[in-house]
Copies of this chain bind each other. A is one copy, B any other.
Amino acid sequence: MADTTCALAAPDAYDTATREAVYRTILTRRDTRGDFLPDPVAPERLSRVLLAAHHAPSVGFMQPWDFIILRDSETRRRVHDLFAKANAEAALMFEGERRETYRGLKLEGILEAPLNICVTCDRSRAGPVVIGRTHIPMMDLFSSVCAVQNLWLAARAEGLGVGWVSILDNRALKSLLRLPEGVIPVAYLCIGHVRGFHRRPELETVGWRRRLPLADCVHLDGWGNVGGDPELADRMLGDQAAVDAGRFLTRRLV
């Protein structure tokens, strides 16, 4: 009798509808700041989003993440104070017109979102020696970041906006959330239902930075050989143009 628990799952690509769903979710995911609604997030949605995060890859199957869900408004007000202080410091690092633009940007939704989630990394979770972390000590932090990205994509599919607030003093945040020694904050996220999802990143819309041409970021067999595979470069140009024209999902998956 075949041991089906050991058999491999089929190696085939998923069908077009499944791939369309995955790319749609990736392409429509946004960093949400000013568009949160106060409506509560249903526990079944939140559970699924956390389950997605928990199935991220992790170095040595370490699963170093925890998820601190913050609903209490007093705690969030104190996090917002940390943001306000750091943001005032940050504004001074920009010059002239850029500083004014910076000050006009809405960069967080800590109090407007119905909940915040701090994703952490417990650096001692699997003991001092971890498979795959022996030569790159940051690998456990990277595992927690993979969990963030899974969470973000699942949230988008569930109709939930997510914003990553990184303008914070992490040491003060660690203290505020009472994280033990060895556990550090990796990402502070605002999450909730939204008025809608922006069609493009807000920093692109306000002219802060443009989307880079993908083909310029792809090198062949070592740094600098951009365009080294002309067939691939042509395909990337076509895919990116299709995204810009809103035709990627309908035209480029077959």
Contacts and interface: CB of A to CB of B under 8 A. Distances in A.
Contact of A54 (B57, B214, B238): B214
A167 B139 CA distance: 10
Contact of A149 (B18, B135, B150): B150
B217 A66 contact: yes
Given A14-B157, A154-B26, A178-B222, A253 B48 contact: yes
Interface residues of A, number: 136
Contact of A135 (B6, B13, B60, B170): B170
A43 B223 contact: no
Contacts of A211: 61, 63
Interface in A211-253: 211-212, 214, 217-224, 229, 231-232, 235-236, 238-240, 243, 248, 252-253
Nearest to A168: B135
A67 B220 CA distance: 8
Contact of A26 (B5, B52, B86, B220): B52
Contact of A209 (B51, B61, B69, B129): B61
Interface in A79-135: 86, 89-90, 93-94, 102, 105, 107, 126, 129, 131-135
A56 B18 CA distance: 19
Interface string A160-192: 110010111110000001111001001100000
Contacts of A93: 129, 134
List the 4 shortest-distance A-B pairs measured between CB atoms, nearest first. A8-B196, A13-B159, A21-B21, A149-B149
Interface of A: 5-14, 17-29, 31, 35, 37, 43-48, 50-52, 54-57, 59-63, 65-72, 75, 86, 89-90, 93-94, 102, 105, 107, 126, 129, 131-136, 138-139, 141-142, 145-146, 148-150, 152-154, 156-161, 164, 166-170, 177-180, 183, 186-187, 193-199, 201, 203-205, 208-209, 211-212, 214, 217-224, 229, 231-232, 235-236, 238-240, 243, 248, 252-253
